A and B are shown apart, each in its own frame.
Chain A
Amino acid sequence: MFDSWALTLVVFLPAVGAALLVAVPRRAENLMKLVALATTLATAAVGVAILARFDYGATDTLQFEVDRPWIDVINSRYHMGVDGISLPLLALSVLITVLCVVYSWDHFPEPHNPKAFLALMLVLETGMNGTFVGQDLILFFVFFELVLLPMYFMIGVWGGPNRQYAAIKFFLFTLFGSALMILAFLALYFKGGNTFDIPLLVERGGTIARDAQILIFGGLFMGFAIKVPMFPFHTWLPDAHTEAPTVGSVILAAVLLKLGTYGFIRIALPILPDAAQAWAPWIGGLAVVGIIYGALGCLAQKDLKRLIAFSSVAHMGFVMLGIATLTDYGINAAVFGMVAHGLITGMLFFIAGSIQERYGTREMSRLGGLLLQAPRLAWLLGFCAMASLGLPGLAGFWGEFPAILSAYQPAPGLSEALFRVYMVVAAVGTVFAAGYLLWMYQRTAFGTAKKEFAEAHVHDVHLPEWLAWAPLLLLILILGIFPSLIFRVTDGAVQSMTSALQAIGG
């Protein structure tokens, strides 16, 4: 009973919560927060139950599967399921949303209106969870697109001074990608024997002619690469991140970017193995360019949030490099990197938001002396910066290091020399990463406060912040020490996928 309803619940509970929120009277703010919290907690509880009942011995099979008719006229079905690749991401998504509600408790950005803000957040969760469990291309597409509207409004209504520009830029970029993506989905439908079912297409995709595969992959690539975002499609990201309210940035960094990389792993690679071979060197190339470009971009930033945004471009570069190797080693690293980046960068955006709230600015040149004024906050920032630059023992390391290593030995059929060059470039990127993160830390935390803030009374971390952050901090530490917690889940699913890929190249 539970097994067949679990995914429907985890996807649609937030939407029901959003509908309930709309019915709450305008003045009952606390009730709104309670409804939102209860909804996200209930969703998370379902998520925990899924984690508990998941069969870790068979991570490569879809579990909690539902497969019902939905739109018969186009053979699209309501097909959902989780395997080892979706499970960690689903868990990340339900966790982050709870924490965002907790953090929002007394941090509502202007123009306030908690009802609309929380409702949008819940709709966003429906979209994110749905994307990670959808096993039908049209279902996937609907959820993939469902996140656009709430995020557009979140940035555009509650964002910073340049919010309207950032919001529409985000929207237009992603929509352009998804317009091409849906064409690719339709091409898959016709080439793959009139079905949108992802597992079925994985079985049949290999039979599509190579030239057609390469074209279709191009459409998918545009859809996913813009979402990741890969260089040179990343330009929407710094704007969106900088202008978005704190919670928006956190969700964007922690979960939304993963929709793109997840799409590569779930759809593009397994369905179109030949095209993946052909595209991998280019993807790998763009990935390492992104690593270096993102790092250099960081070094040029004055704004704390913008710096973290550019660091996301670099980090997603590592994830894409792992994917481009087409090896199980690389893709495992990629999934780990996705989770780790979600935790760490989400946390960094939380802290950046709290710093802005305290100082009213994110200009690093105006900040300084955080260690003296709010030592706990400063230590947390230091901890996350270390995690982000890939310090062994923290979660960031296990996303980055194996991804670099995996480029040493890419899948058969890919040029070893080329990928070793990528490996070296990516390794140089980690040095840059240490550079910009330490530089950022130096400028914000060390020294004494600038004159304008010298007398300011700065709150240290308070209770809602601790509540919202503790799970992330713990997970960063725990996953850093026991990376197998994730690798054990993903490995089976990834291996069964890459074995098919390698059969092509070998």
Chain B
Amino acid sequence: MTGLLAAAFEAPYLDYAALAPEMVLTGVLLAVLVVDLFVDEGRKAVVAQLAGVGLLASLLPIVFLAVDGNDRSMFSGAYVVDDFALVLKALFLVSGYVVLLMSADHIEEGDYWKGEYTFLLLSSLLGMVVMCSSRDLLTIFVALELLSIPAYMLAGWRKRDLRSNEAALKYYLLGVLSSAVMLYGMSLVFGATGTTVLEDIARELGDNTSEPLVKLGIFFIVVGFAFKVSAVPFHFWAPDTYEGAPTPVTAFLSVASKAAGFVALLQLVFVGFFGQDNVWQPLFWVLAALTMTVGNLVALRQTNVVRLLAYSSVAQAGYMLVPFAVGGSGDAAARTAQTAAIVYLLIYAAMNLGAFAVVIAVARKTRSGEVSSYGGLFTYAPGLTVLMTVFLFSLAGIPPFGGWFAKLYIFKSAVDAGTGWSVALAVITGVNSVIALFYYASVAREMWMRPVPDEDVTPVRVPPALGAALAITALAVVAIGIYPQAFARLGDLAELAVR
């Protein structure tokens, strides 16, 4: 800020190679907007295909940057492209691609505005990609708004559906509220340290500051993001929004948007506020324990699959908060915690997107989201049933599906920290995974062990795009489950440099 007042303005150094993924993505989303204007109503699929190709194209520079291997830093440390950023950018782009595949037929058949939908989805993705490199309070805030505002609109995409309207409105109001809370916290931290760059904040604050304003600032920032990742008690928007929004959007919100919140938290906590663990560690402990317990207990009572998955994703957020609650005791603990959180994010993305893809496929036939509509699915759609079983039990953490490894890493981070509190949290997590199994298994029970409710056993037709989404996610879940090394390496690579 003071730089602006200085006499001579010096153009900041721009590393175009480092910004290539963002630039390609921006180009694609502008192209989508323009092409959409000139394509006939019947041929809007072209727009989505263009977007898909564009997403894959923006993965290319990420691969090159990863091979190159140099960390690149711009704007005096406010924007950093390192392995952490690259791994997570790739995660967002691939998740975005899968969501696009899932949306293809859903949006077309629902008679929605396909071109604009694609454009907004890409914009939100751009925000997420920017978020991965943001090491500055303001950049984080800008990235967050860039990813959130299109998401508010996407949640309300079923214009004439009251529940979709409710979904969007709730999401918007709480989103804005949380942004305000967060921004207030940021202003306090800025006021105390005189800088917005996370590394400088860490340097200014030193170890465990006693400044109450800073503590309050950190508290507000974490609470703001607790809304974003739907941590209890700031979760109540999530189930309504998830249920009301079009299902592909729900998948997007519950995976990508949530992951973006965690990415921001990782950077804030482990770079900016790493020394202040006496403030955030207890806070995250409470959030984690509450989030997983409440999420799981409420999920037990759900009769709608989307709502069930919504509460399940609340509970999953609780597991992902565990590393934050135990990662503050030192460099080693911080590294394990980060790896645990990132590994969980990667695996969670695959299994949750997969589960939603099955929900979309089944709803094409049953036109219902009730758990009871899954009765006897195995008799007429054995393939989808097996896939759903894989995703559900992966979410439950049962080997040999990917989820077990994610959960193992969470446990590992907690046991590694070795304090009484962290072990207690690990035990709470363990008990919670048993509770969670009950509702995941209840969907499986419906599919395998119950009769078909309306005796309509016409097979479910799965369009190719949706099939591709299912194949990608299922392959990832099974491959990670059997040979976790491949993905765990990514998590290991992606550690942020702690001070």
Contacts and interface: CB of A to CB of B under 8 A. Distances in A.
Given A70-B485, A74-B412, A157 B430 contact: no
Contact of A172 (B416, B426, B437, B489): B437
B335 to A, nearest CB: 11
Contacts of B356: none
Contact of B399 (A146, A152, A167): A146
B220 interface: no
B484 interface: yes
A69 B426 CA distance: 27
B427 interface: yes
B151 to A, nearest CB: 33
Contact of A183 (B404, B405, B430): B430
Contact of A73 (B393, B399, B423, B485): B485
B318 interface: no
Nearest to A70: B485
Interface in A158-194: 163-164, 167-168, 171-172, 175-176, 179-180, 182-183, 186-187, 189-190
A70 B415 CA distance: 22
A138 B437 contact: no
A73 B445 contact: no
A149 B392 CA distance: 12
B433 A183 contact: no
Given A179-B434, A183-B427, A73 B491 contact: yes
B338 to A, nearest CB: 13
A149 B398 contact: yes
Provide the main secondary structure of the chain B interface. Answer: helix
Contacts of A70: 483, 485
B491 A156 contact: no
A186 B412 contact: yes
A183 B426 contact: yes
Contacts of B492: 73
B180 interface: no
B411 interface: yes
Contacts, number: 87
A187 B416 CA distance: 8
Contacts of A182: 408, 411, 430
Given A141-B399, A142-B400, A172 B438 contact: yes
* Most central of A138, A168, A172, A182 by chain B CB within 10 Å: A182
Given A149-B393, A186-B411, A186-B412, A142 B404 contact: yes
Contacts of A190: 415-416, 418
Given A71-B485, A72-B485, A187 B398 contact: no
Given A72-B485, A149-B393, A176 B434 contact: yes
Contacts of A175: 398, 433-434, 437
A157 B433 CA distance: 23
Contacts of B405: 71
Nearest to A158: B449
B271 interface: no
Interface bin, chain B = 35 or more
Nearest to A111: B379
A71 B402 CA distance: 13
Interface in B398-426: 398-400, 404-405, 408-409, 411-412, 415-416, 418, 423, 426
Contacts of A283: none
Contacts of B488: 71, 73-74
B448 interface: yes
A169 B339 CA distance: 34
Contacts of B37: none
B441 interface: yes
A115 to B, nearest CB: 9
A145 interface: yes
Contacts of B426: 183
A142 B399 contact: yes
Contacts of B393: 149
B393 to A, nearest CB: 6
B448 A157 contact: yes
Interface in A114-159: 138, 141-142, 145-146, 148-149, 152-153, 156-157
A149 B394 CA distance: 11
Contacts of A138: 408
Given A71-B484, A156-B448, A183 B434 contact: no
Interface in B431-458: 431, 433-434, 437-438, 441-442, 445, 448-449
Contacts of B445: 156, 164, 167-168
Nearest to B423: A183
B3 to A, nearest CB: 41
Contact of B427 (A69, A73, A153, A180): A180
Contacts of A180: 427, 430
Contacts of B398: 145, 148-149, 175
Contacts of A69: 485
B438 A168 contact: yes
A163 B438 contact: no
Interface string B88-127: 0000000000000000000000000000000000000000
Contacts of B427: 180, 183
Nearest to A177: B434
Contacts of A189: 412, 415
A170 to B, nearest CB: 11
A397 to B, nearest CB: 38
A163 B415 contact: no
Interface in A209-242: none
B415 A146 contact: no
A186 B339 CA distance: 16
B157 to A, nearest CB: 37
Contacts of B400: 142, 146
A339 B491 CA distance: 44
A145 B404 contact: yes
Interface of A: 69-74, 138, 141-142, 145-146, 148-149, 152-153, 156-157, 163-164, 167-168, 171-172, 175-176, 179-180, 182-183, 186-187, 189-190
11 contacts: A69-B485, A71-B483, A142-B399, A156-B449, A172-B438, A182-B430, A183-B411, A186-B408, A186-B412, A186-B416, A187-B415
> Which 8 A-B residue pairs are closest in the complex by CB-CB distance?
A179-B430, A186-B415, A73-B488, A142-B399, A145-B399, A176-B434, A71-B485, A156-B449
Given A142-B399, A183-B423, 10 more contacts: A142-B404, A145-B404, A156-B445, A156-B449, A164-B445, A171-B437, A179-B430, A182-B408, A182-B411, A183-B426
